Amino acid sequence: MASKRNYHAGRGKTIKVVCASCNGPTQHDIVYSVTDEDGDDNVQWWGYYQVLECRGCERISFRYNWQSSEDLEPSENGAWEAVDHETLYPSRIAGAAPMADSHLLPPQLRRIYEETHSALSANLPVIAGIGVRAIVETLCAEKKAKGGDLKQKIDDLVKQGVITPAGGEILHSLRLMGNEAAHEVKPQKPEDLLLAMRVVEHALQGVYILPRQAEHLPSGRTVQP
């Protein structure tokens, strides 16, 4: 079969995908779509390039999806259907919106956090795991934690009062996760990485963001009875 390309402008069709702003699956209008078809008598391939607009927040994004006659799975009615291979731009994952006010982080820590979040959203589990450890290492460096290895530096953060003992235990868990990613090239489960990012964000908010925000609060105000 010769390659065939179809262009479809205008609204009318919708699709449910994760929205980067709404932080979950929402209905999107297909604003514009281009379909590629190619193959021969044995194998067929379809590619879909779509400009989407979220019906909730109206954010514009891009979706690429491909299917092949060689990649099928049974549907609920028993028929065989082509499997979707979907990629969204910008990449995103449900429940993992970037942390608000990350611009208040020190520049190097902010860069590593943003790169790690991008790796998580792009489904790069090994890189995301290494990034989690890099965030912890950078936090220790920013606070000039003492020690010969990362374990000792985390313990020193606790001694300094930068984090609580419970926070230290959590950072140790993240350190071990990063070790597996860096030394064993072991990908973590998506749900574990998502939880790790939430823990990291909580630590960064407590150490950097909330203190910066508190600087703008009024001080010395007497509450009238």
In this predicted model, what pLDDT tens digit does every residue of 76-101 receive, in sequence order? 777 778 888 888 888 777 666 778 88
Residues in CB range of 217: below 8 A, 6 or more apart: none
Residues 152-184: pLDDT tens digits? 999 999 998 888 888 888 888 888 888 888 888
Instruction: For residues 69 and 171, state if they share a domain.
Output: no
- Give the residue-averaged pLDDT of 208-213: 87
Percent of the chain with pLDDT over 70: 92
Q: Give me the pLDDT at residue 199, please.
A: 84
Q: How many independent structural domains does the chain possess?
A: 2
Are both 82 and 129 inside the same structural domain?
A: no
**pLDDT, position 92:** 75
Q: Does one domain contain both 132 and 158?
A: yes
Domain containing 185: what range? 102-214
Are 79 and 152 contained in the same domain? no
Q: What is the pLDDT of residue 11?
A: 59
The domain that holds 117 is classified in CATH as: 1.20.120.580
pLDDT at 2: 54
Q: Is the full-model pTM beyond 0.75?
A: no
141-158: string of b/e by CB count within 10 Å (b at 16+)?
eeeebeeeebeebbbbbb
Tally the residues of the chain.
225
Look at residue 225 and tell me if it is in a domain: no
Tell me the mean pLDDT in the region 191-220.
Answer: 83
Q: Give the pLDDT confidence score for residue 151 in this predicted structure.
A: 92
